[in-house]
Structure 1
């Protein structure tokens, strides 16, 4: 009897801890749009990954431009992209195009796509990390201008201050 009560208590504790951790680690699009992304792009979370989409900020007309996607974990540590695949579908008005991205360096994908840097550009990223299921993230990289501080987190910037702590997985 005592053993089953102990097992029940232990399982309940684990379930409560898992539920609270899950909520603490999840960030929504609004949160990511309120902070400065490490490489100047737009960041989204999918599964356990953070994907930062970096596009040319100054292409007034649709032309071939670079595309870079950085992959990090919740603590902003790079995750190796070797052996992974990625595609980015861009929609701009009536035009839709899909580009294959290739792993490059430690934790990024690169490619080229035709787009203009304006507010109606939308993107859908699909990434399949080696041996893992596919993850998807949606982007609106030029829809709004970020009002993020470039300074380290301080008491005046509560969103960055709330996130300026170490995460352990």
Structure 2
């Protein structure tokens, strides 16, 4: 009976079908002050200010990855309105875009990112509602 309890206890601690490295992280503050989330096998940090979005790109180990050749689009919901913002490379690991919105608490963004040679990946952000 003791072996059975040990087996059951160990199984409750192991997630089925998902290796530890592939588990999603909770949104957290990034090094640029924005919200950082998983996007595909990488991480992205979204910083919103005024009507501008900056998307910083990082690999799975949080090292900056080049933005050259990357494309992204953000669908923003803010102030009861929806806006679409195209983001283009504007530095080593950052894409930037402006649109018809005003960054404010409660805004939400869905970003679709395509890195060179990779499939598009999506992530959801609430950049102004961080802890």
**TM-score with structure 1 length normalisation?**
0.61
* Aligned residue in 1 for 2:21: 24
Alpha-carbon distance in structure 1 between the residues aligned to 2:73 and 2:33:
20
Structure 1: any 5+ residue segments left out of the alignment? 1-18, 60-64, 147-169
SS at match of 1:24: helix
Q: CA RMSD in A?
A: 1.8
Unaligned 5+ runs, structure 2: 1-16
In 2, Cα distance between equivalents of 1:108 and 1:117: 18
Q: How many residues align?
A: 115
Instruction: Give the distance between the partners of 2:103 and 2:97, measured in 1 at CA.
Output: 16
State yes or no: 1:55 paired with 2:26: no
What is the CA distance between 1:142 and its match in structure 2?
Answer: 1.7
Q: Which one has a bigger Cα radius of gyration?
A: 1
* CA offsets 1:63-94 (integer angstroms, 9 cap, x no match): xx221000001221111121111001101243
Aligned match of 1:45: 38
Question: Which has a greater percent of strand?
Answer: 2
| CA displacement at 1:43 relative to structure 2 | 0.8
Provide the TM-score with structure 2 as the length reference.
Answer: 0.78
1:114 deviation in Å? 3.0
- Return the structure number with greater helix share: 1
State the SS of the aligned residue for 1:114. Answer: coil
